[in-house]
Structure 1
Amino acid sequence: MVRFKNRWILVEFIPIVHGDSQLGKQSTSSPPLDGKTIWAALKQSVLTNFGDTGWGAVGLSLTVKYFSPTTNLCIIRVARDQHKIAWGALTLLTSVEGEKCIPNVIHISGTIKHAQLAAIAHNREIIARYRALAKTSVFDDGYETFLENSSREIDALQD
């Protein structure tokens, strides 16, 4: 029996904000990002840059396992042999649902556990940046409960 081997890509979608919007949040006129829109944008990027052959290689194994609209952090699963196609398509992605963004690939791992640990650590860094920009104390904001909830959601992911 052969095991299906995966690569887990942890990516942050940094929105390009025009004007003086605080904390880099998305504009209210556009719908918020979710896993389906990211998957559709990634599919379109693979088709545009690698053609039908690239999508045929990567299409069956590509899934978005986790997305946080607060931190724009995403965990994507793809087959080990085709992970470079997905990584390339992510790098060449310029917008999701018409919203311009910069995909920042943070971590690539062979197990979901290491992707979870990297996601939790990166979530803490993002929340620390938000707190610094907002200049609030740790006890005044709702970020601590967000960190607990997101850590629980990320830990609950299964392969």
Structure 2
Amino acid sequence: MVRFKNRWLLVEFISLSTDIPSPHAPPSFDSKQIYAALRQSIISNFGDTGWGAVGMSLTVKYFSPTTNLCIIRVARDQHTLAWGAVTLMSSINGSRIIPHVVHVSGTIKHVQLAAIKHNREVVARFRARAKTPALYHAQDSYEPYLVQSTREIESLQE
């Protein structure tokens, strides 16, 4: 029996807009559009040969429109090609972005732990910019998001 080995990329897409995101704001892109932009980046930078190598194993497993955090799965042998394509992306669905690869892992468990930790850090930044600490307001709009996103990330399967 052959086991397929994967690499998991945890990517944050930093938006170039200056607005403070909120859980109720409409997302500017989704996981299908990320996949399409990543596919286009691979084809334009590495050609059809690059897409042929990566295409069968590439999937976007999770995307959070609130924190713009994304989990991408790719075959172990081609993960550097996918990582390079992510780094070379400049826009998704017309939205200008800067991709930041936060974590690369060989197991889904480690990328889940890194995603949960990074979500908490991003929400802490949002609270600091909005000057609303978590314990200050009884109705914190980010707390339900953190609970829901943690549940979604923990439920991911290979």
TM-score, with normalisation over the residues of structure 1? 0.92
CA contact (8 A) 1:120 1:151 kept: yes
Identify the residue that residue 12 of structure 2 maps to in structure 1.
12
Identify the residue that residue 76 of structure 1 maps to in structure 2.
72
AA in 1 matched with 2:75:
A
Q: Which 4+ residue blocks in structure 1 deviate beyond 2 angstroms?
A: none
Q: 1:136-151 residue pairs with structure 2 within 5 A?
A: 136-138=132-134, 139-151=138-150
Identify the residue that residue 2 of structure 1 maps to in structure 2.
2
**The residue matched to 2:42 in structure 1 has which SS?**
helix
**The residue matched to 2:20 in structure 1 has which SS?**
helix
Number of matched pairs: 153
Identify the residue that residue 115 of structure 1 maps to in structure 2.
111
CA contact (8 A) 1:15 1:24 kept: no
Note the residue ranges of structure 1 that are not aligned, 5 or more in a row: none
Question: Pairwise CA RMSD of aligned residues?
Answer: 1.5
Identify the residue that residue 153 of structure 1 maps to in structure 2.
152
Q: Tell me if 1:130 matches 2:126.
A: yes
TM-score, with normalisation over the residues of structure 2? 0.93
Identity %: 65
Note the residue ranges of structure 2 that are not aligned, 5 or more in a row: none
Query: Aligned to 1:35, which of 31, 35, 40?
Result: 31
Q: Tell me if 1:22 matches 2:19.
A: yes
CA contact (8 A) 1:7 1:80 kept: yes
**The residue matched to 2:28 in structure 1 has which SS?**
coil
Q: Deviations over 1:17-57 (max 9, x none)?
A: 1xxx43267xx8x9621100000000000000000000000
Q: 1:92-111 residue pairs with structure 2 within 5 A?
A: 92-111=88-107
Cα distance, 1:126 vs. partner? Answer: 0.3
